Amino acid sequence: MPRTLSTALVTGGAGFIGSHTCVELLEHGYEVIVVDDHSNSSPEVFARTEKVAGRCLGAVYRIDLRDRDALNAVFNRHPIDVVVHFAGKKEVAESVRTPVEYYDVNVGGTLTLLSVMQEHGIHRLVFSSSCSIYGEADRIPLTEADPARPTNPYAASKWTCEQILADVCRRRDGWAVMSLRYFNPAGAHPSGLLGEVPRGAPGNVMPYMAQVAAGRLDRLNVFGGDYATSDGTGIRDYIHVMDVAEAHRLALEHLAGRPGMRVFNLGLGSGTSVLELLAAFRRASGRPIPYRIVPRRPGDVGALVADPTAAARAWGWRATRDVAAMCQDAWRFTRLNPAGYADRP
Ligand code: UD1
């Protein structure tokens, strides 16, 4: 029988963006194989992924990506066509404390994956990158042509991976790679079944706000009220995780038959300050969200906003969900899942 479905391997498929992307791929007919070491995710997410998509994942493996033999066995077992690579560590502050670990997991994991892909003749990859590689911006919005000047080991590890991928595409025939530089993914699946479940107190602003709105944390600390922005607080380009997930599917489709390395920003193209986000979350939740302005967080930058037009021009992707939708969906998920994925759907 001829194969009708494409088989996608999703590394880190139990994570926040990975799980939403698995749903998107399942809904569009892909056979989806997941590898994840669950170092920052729960296997509970898989039942929810399948419930939302109305289809089963092809297989899931608990594997550390640096375990070459285990990864090789997955490629031997499944007729993988394409890879979406999310697996990695992603906390800026943690990366400053443990740089070796960050390079080991993020760069080491990517190298093992590339070598196993090469061995199996699979050359199509979408890579999860980050706007943090731009560092302090000279001007906004940022285009893909702006220089990479990472300021912490997390961002530097992503930039290192991008350079490795570019080199592989330059030197080896047939490789087709797309690196997607996310700005600030936020929100949750509108079903209320999938969302962001940080371990411990959230480091990112929207999950933190959501916990304050739910009464589980006292107040939001707004890091810095003296930036050169409209209200003095940090400006970011928040993008709905559903738009990010959709971008990965479109990226995979665009890669077919187009060898080479490409990088694209994924953002809404407009900036929102911390206080504006707070007001939007108050509206969405109908709850008070106490806050206080505290000193700047070390390593933070004032404003980061994407110019996302390159992706629109090249492969027709455009974010369609606004900050209000991100807040509504994040609030629904927080309200319905007070214990994260430990709550039964
Ligand atoms: C950072 C990285 C991003 C990475 C993400 C994952 C940079 C520039 N960006 O995003 O690439 O994917 O982490 O963790 O390194 N804030 C508060 N109070 C809080 C938390 C945050 O005021 O309790 C403010 C921050 O100062 C910032 C904004 O909210 O202005 C967003 O912060 P956060 O959600 O942590 O994301 P980034 O630091 O932008």
CA atoms within 13 A on the CB side of 190: 7
How many degrees, rounded to 5, is the angle at CA 298 between CA 293 and CA 303? 70
pTM exceeds cut of 0.75: yes
**pLDDT, tens only, 156-192:** 999 999 999 999 999 999 999 999 999 999 999 999 9
Q: Which helix (H) or strand (E) holds 95?
A: helix 92-97
| 269, burial (CB in 10 Å: exposed 0-12, middle 13-18, buried 19+) | middle
Q: Using 50, 70 and 90 to split pLDDT, how confident is the model at 300? A: confident
Ligand 1 neighbourhood includes 135 CB (under 6 angstroms) = no
Question: What is the atom index within ligand 1 of the atom nearest the CA of 186?
Answer: 34
Mutate to test the pocket of ligand 1, among 209, 274, 301 (most ligand atoms within 8 A of CB): 274
Instruction: Supply the DSSP symbol for 204.
Output: S
- Out of 154, 182, 227, 341, the active site residue is 154
Q: What is the DSSP string of 43-62?
A: TTHHHHHHHHHTS--SEEEE
Active site residue 154: yes
Task: Give me ligand 1 centre to Cα 204, in Å.
Answer: 5
Q: In this structure, what token pair is assigned to residue 15? A: 């994570």
Backbone phi and psi for residue 305, each to the nearest 5 degrees, phi listed first: -135, 140
pLDDT digits (tens, 9 = 90+) for 93-114: 899 999 999 999 999 999 999 9
CA-closest candidate to residue 114, choices 153, 75, 159: 75
Phi/psi-derived region of residue 244, left when phi > 0, alpha when psi is between -120 and 50, beta in every other case = alpha
Q: pLDDT over 90 for what percent of the chain? A: 91
Confidence of residue 14 (pLDDT cuts 50, 70, 90): very high
Condensed to tens digits (0 to 9), the pLDDT of residues 218-265 reads 999 999 999 999 999 999 999 999 999 999 999 999 998 899 999 999
Q: Which amino acid residue places its CA nearest to atom 9 of ligand 1?
A: 132
Residue 299 alpha carbon to ligand 1 centre in Å:
10
Per-residue confidence (pLDDT) for residue 1, from 0 to 100: 43
How far, in Å, CA of 137 to CA of 183, rounded?
13
**pLDDT score for 342:** 84
Tokens 């993020």, residue? 106
